[in-house]
Chains A and B, each alone.
Chain A
């Protein structure tokens, strides 16, 4: 690790650059701080010198922050990125995270709580990211693959793990090819899934790529889960990292096997405690789940209708079932054509297995 990391701040407002520099000068690790006011200059400087972290505004003339981040993600996949903006629109937050930024901060939040911002930046500077996949914050590789497939997108995922490089070709939400460690197709995909850490970047789609994988992602993940379970050594001690990896694959396999679209498990007491699979809107859905629980409790008390058993909802895209259980609420989504009279039993079964 370098003794003094370098931070690059990009913002078109000179006054804000100075404020930011002043705040960041209080970082305990005393990083070198450089500032630029255009995206072009930022990219040029990143090309010329190694930086650890880029702090980037979004609303800028000529090249906006999202464009800069898009370039940075492809050209400097190891660079940590923080968005610092005055735009409070949730759409920008989603788009920034989709581009793989590590943190998204509002300028007003920094003014209110500069210490928390400093703690987050210091953590990013010091983090070597030995586990997990960089590119999308707190997402496993399976999350990333599933997000790409759910959004029916076309892309090539380039995954790097030290000297190893792998690629996954996704075409309109279907995994069509994989390459890793000299293998291709399903064998390559299984090898990639065994990686517990790495960095990924999203490359342009290659629609003419020859298809070698014909099974669905869910089917391949189920097979991988089975292989990992079989390979697990029941007598030897399992590291936390291995246990997390195995648990993640197992949960994914469970969701895929039952045919659910997503699961969001949120604590009724602790707002930040959310465990989700198969959705990019876990936070919003967890918030809705908590609100339903609050409303149900209020109505139950007022109407004397007894405790809440469950809530079921329908939309064109899916059916959802909310199940309260102990100190958690589970929101499980099912395809719109799933038999409605079986949803409750299926959800109960899935939830019973989820935390076991």
Chain B
């Protein structure tokens, strides 16, 4: 065992993509969540902050949005506006889920 640890040093675990949903109020406080409790809370706070920021900035740009989805190569963040707060869905996708999945630009 000592031989193995000497040659195969442990690496930090690969960060998992968040999956599930969370509801936040207008102050950005998480009300309900189905995201794994082990997922870093700091990252969830980043998502919540940016989602609420984008809703607010869309309103300021005279384009109030009821819903938006940010499509990354391996994660989709969908947010639905709820009286100043939001319900946020985090859907990782490592393989195309539908034939019409867009190609990477």
Q: A residues within 8 Å of B by Cβ?
A: 281, 284-285, 287-288, 291-292, 295-296, 298-300, 302-316, 320, 323-325, 341, 344-345, 348
Contact = CB atoms under 8 A, between A and B. Distances in A.
Contacts of A325: 105
Contact of B50 (A298, A307, A308, A324): A298
Interface stretch (B3-11, B24-32, B56-64): B56-64
A311 B77 CA distance: 9
Contact of B71 (A303, A312, A316, A320): A312
B82 interface: no
A344 B76 CA distance: 15
Contacts of A288: 57-58, 60-61, 63
Interface of B: 15, 17-18, 43, 46-47, 50, 53-54, 57-58, 60-75, 77, 100, 102, 104-105
B79 to A, nearest CB: 10
Contact of B75 (A303, A310, A348): A303
B71 A309 contact: yes
Contacts of B15: 303-304
B72 A285 contact: no
A316 B17 contact: no
A314 B72 contact: no
B73 A305 contact: yes
Contacts of B18: 303
A296 B73 contact: no
Nearest to A300: B72
Nearest to B78: A312
21 contacts: A295-B53, A298-B50, A299-B70, A300-B72, A303-B75, A305-B72, A305-B74, A306-B74, A307-B73, A307-B104, A309-B73, A310-B71, A310-B102, A311-B68, A311-B70, A312-B68, A313-B65, A314-B67, A323-B105, A324-B105, A348-B105
A306 B73 contact: yes
Contacts of B50: 295, 298-299
